[in-house]
Amino acid sequence: MGDDLRDGEAVLPFDPAARADATVCFIGHVRSGWGPDTDTPRNIGPARTTGQGARIELFEGMAAGLTGLRVGQPIIVMTWMHQGRRDLIVQAPRHADGPRGTFAIRSPRRPNPVALSTVVIASLDIDAGVIGIDATDAFDGTPVVDIKPWLPTVDMPPETDGGPAG
Protein backbone atom coordinates (compact mmCIF):
# COMPACT_ATOMS: atom_id res chain seq x y z
CA MET A 1 0.00 0.00 0.00
CA GLY A 2 3.04 2.30 -0.41
CA ASP A 3 2.05 3.57 -3.84
CA ASP A 4 -0.05 6.57 -4.87
CA LEU A 5 1.59 8.81 -2.29
CA ARG A 6 2.12 12.55 -2.68
CA ASP A 7 5.44 14.18 -1.80
CA GLY A 8 6.05 14.08 1.95
CA GLU A 9 3.39 11.47 2.70
CA ALA A 10 4.26 8.45 4.84
CA VAL A 11 2.53 5.18 5.60
CA LEU A 12 2.54 2.83 8.56
CA PRO A 13 4.49 -0.43 8.22
CA PHE A 14 1.18 -2.29 8.61
CA ASP A 15 -2.48 -1.84 7.69
CA PRO A 16 -4.56 -0.80 10.73
CA ALA A 17 -7.57 -2.47 9.09
CA ALA A 18 -5.82 -5.81 9.70
CA ARG A 19 -5.28 -5.17 13.44
CA ALA A 20 -8.55 -5.90 15.16
CA ASP A 21 -7.97 -4.76 18.75
CA ALA A 22 -11.73 -4.21 19.10
CA THR A 23 -14.87 -4.33 16.99
CA VAL A 24 -17.41 -1.70 16.02
CA CYS A 25 -21.16 -2.23 15.62
CA PHE A 26 -22.93 0.21 13.29
CA ILE A 27 -25.99 1.69 15.03
CA GLY A 28 -27.56 3.29 11.95
CA HIS A 29 -26.76 5.38 8.90
CA VAL A 30 -26.90 8.93 7.61
CA ARG A 31 -29.49 9.77 4.95
CA SER A 32 -28.32 12.82 3.03
CA GLY A 33 -28.40 14.39 -0.40
CA TRP A 34 -24.62 13.90 -0.80
CA GLY A 35 -22.93 11.26 -2.90
CA PRO A 36 -19.89 10.71 -5.09
CA ASP A 37 -21.49 12.76 -7.88
CA THR A 38 -22.64 15.76 -5.84
CA ASP A 39 -20.80 18.91 -4.80
CA THR A 40 -20.37 17.59 -1.29
CA PRO A 41 -19.17 20.08 1.35
CA ARG A 42 -15.64 19.42 2.60
CA ASN A 43 -16.64 19.59 6.27
CA ILE A 44 -19.54 20.47 8.52
CA GLY A 45 -18.80 24.24 8.40
CA PRO A 46 -19.61 24.69 4.69
CA ALA A 47 -22.28 21.97 5.00
CA ARG A 48 -24.24 24.29 7.30
CA THR A 49 -24.23 27.06 4.73
CA THR A 50 -25.91 24.81 2.14
CA GLY A 51 -29.11 24.89 4.18
CA GLN A 52 -29.58 21.18 3.43
CA GLY A 53 -30.63 19.14 6.43
CA ALA A 54 -30.21 15.40 6.75
CA ARG A 55 -31.33 12.61 9.00
CA ILE A 56 -29.97 9.68 10.93
CA GLU A 57 -31.89 6.42 10.78
CA LEU A 58 -31.07 4.02 13.58
CA PHE A 59 -31.09 0.27 13.07
CA GLU A 60 -33.54 -2.16 14.69
CA GLY A 61 -33.47 -2.09 18.48
CA MET A 62 -31.47 1.13 18.83
CA ALA A 63 -34.37 3.65 18.89
CA ALA A 64 -34.87 3.55 22.67
CA GLY A 65 -31.36 4.96 23.01
CA LEU A 66 -32.73 8.36 21.91
CA THR A 67 -34.96 8.73 24.99
CA GLY A 68 -34.28 12.05 26.68
CA LEU A 69 -32.92 13.89 23.64
CA ARG A 70 -34.91 16.92 22.46
CA VAL A 71 -35.28 19.12 19.39
CA GLY A 72 -32.82 22.02 19.44
CA GLN A 73 -30.20 20.11 21.41
CA PRO A 74 -26.65 19.89 20.04
CA ILE A 75 -25.28 16.39 19.56
CA ILE A 76 -22.03 14.85 18.39
CA VAL A 77 -22.50 12.39 15.54
CA MET A 78 -19.74 9.86 15.06
CA THR A 79 -19.58 8.28 11.60
CA TRP A 80 -17.39 5.58 10.08
CA MET A 81 -15.61 6.83 6.94
CA HIS A 82 -14.98 3.43 5.43
CA GLN A 83 -13.98 4.51 1.93
CA GLY A 84 -10.32 5.43 2.40
CA ARG A 85 -7.01 3.79 3.21
CA ARG A 86 -6.10 3.57 6.89
CA ASP A 87 -2.30 3.41 6.76
CA LEU A 88 -1.48 7.07 5.96
CA ILE A 89 0.34 8.56 8.97
CA VAL A 90 1.64 11.74 7.28
CA GLN A 91 -0.53 13.40 4.64
CA ALA A 92 -0.19 16.23 2.15
CA PRO A 93 -3.72 17.54 1.65
CA ARG A 94 -4.06 19.64 -1.51
CA HIS A 95 -5.25 22.68 0.45
CA ALA A 96 -2.47 22.57 3.08
CA ASP A 97 0.91 24.27 2.91
CA GLY A 98 2.87 21.07 3.59
CA PRO A 99 2.70 17.56 4.98
CA ARG A 100 0.89 17.10 8.30
CA GLY A 101 0.60 14.22 10.71
CA THR A 102 -2.73 12.41 10.47
CA PHE A 103 -3.50 13.27 14.12
CA ALA A 104 -3.00 16.98 13.36
CA ILE A 105 -5.70 17.08 10.66
CA ARG A 106 -9.32 15.97 10.24
CA SER A 107 -8.80 13.82 7.15
CA PRO A 108 -11.10 10.78 6.96
CA ARG A 109 -8.04 8.73 6.00
CA ARG A 110 -6.69 7.66 9.43
CA PRO A 111 -5.96 4.45 11.37
CA ASN A 112 -9.52 4.49 12.73
CA PRO A 113 -11.68 6.32 10.20
CA VAL A 114 -14.10 7.93 12.62
CA ALA A 115 -15.43 11.41 11.86
CA LEU A 116 -17.08 13.71 14.39
CA SER A 117 -19.51 16.50 13.71
CA THR A 118 -21.46 18.65 16.10
CA VAL A 119 -24.96 19.32 14.83
CA VAL A 120 -28.37 20.34 16.15
CA ILE A 121 -31.42 18.10 16.39
CA ALA A 122 -33.99 19.52 13.98
CA SER A 123 -36.63 16.83 14.47
CA LEU A 124 -36.97 13.67 16.48
CA ASP A 125 -39.07 10.54 16.06
CA ILE A 126 -38.00 8.34 18.94
CA ASP A 127 -40.41 5.51 18.10
CA ALA A 128 -39.04 5.28 14.57
CA GLY A 129 -35.45 5.88 15.61
CA VAL A 130 -35.01 8.86 13.30
CA ILE A 131 -33.23 12.14 14.10
CA GLY A 132 -33.37 15.10 11.75
CA ILE A 133 -30.17 17.16 11.88
CA ASP A 134 -29.40 20.67 10.61
CA ALA A 135 -26.48 19.65 8.36
CA THR A 136 -24.06 16.90 7.39
CA ASP A 137 -20.98 16.49 5.23
CA ALA A 138 -21.48 12.71 5.06
CA PHE A 139 -22.47 10.78 1.97
CA ASP A 140 -25.88 9.13 1.96
CA GLY A 141 -25.53 5.73 3.63
CA THR A 142 -22.51 6.55 5.79
CA PRO A 143 -22.55 4.27 8.85
CA VAL A 144 -23.14 5.86 12.25
CA VAL A 145 -21.14 4.54 15.21
CA ASP A 146 -22.37 6.72 18.09
CA ILE A 147 -24.48 9.71 19.06
CA LYS A 148 -23.67 11.74 22.18
CA PRO A 149 -25.13 14.89 23.71
CA TRP A 150 -22.74 17.83 23.18
CA LEU A 151 -21.79 19.23 26.59
CA PRO A 152 -19.89 22.51 26.90
CA THR A 153 -18.11 21.35 30.08
CA VAL A 154 -16.68 18.32 28.28
CA ASP A 155 -16.52 19.37 24.64
CA MET A 156 -15.05 22.86 24.91
CA PRO A 157 -11.39 23.25 25.73
CA PRO A 158 -10.52 24.96 29.01
CA GLU A 159 -9.49 28.60 28.71
CA THR A 160 -5.86 28.89 27.69
CA ASP A 161 -3.61 31.90 27.26
CA GLY A 162 -4.41 32.11 23.59
CA GLY A 163 -8.16 31.54 24.01
CA PRO A 164 -10.06 28.35 23.22
CA ALA A 165 -8.47 27.92 19.80
CA GLY A 166 -4.99 27.90 21.36
Residues 2-61 that bind its own copies (CB under 8 A): 10, 12-14, 16-17, 19-27, 43-45, 48, 61
Contact call for residue 160 and its own copies (CB under 8 A): yes
C-beta contacts of 89-96 below 8 A and 24+ residues apart: 89/10, 89/11, 89/12, 90/8, 90/9, 90/10, 91/6, 91/9, 92/6, 92/7, 92/8, 92/9
Q: Which is nearer to its own copies, 37 or 97 (CB)?
A: 97
Terminal-residue alpha carbon distance, the chain: 35
Q: Which of 3, 4, 67, 127 binds its own copies (CB under 8 A)?
A: 67
Reference 147, options 82, 85, 58; nearest CA is 58
Contact call for residue 62 and its own copies (CB under 8 A): yes
Q: How near is the Cβ of 55 to its own copies at its closest, in Å?
A: 14
Q: How near is the Cβ of 33 to its own copies at its closest, in Å?
A: 19
Q: How near is the Cβ of 3 to its own copies at its closest, in Å?
A: 19
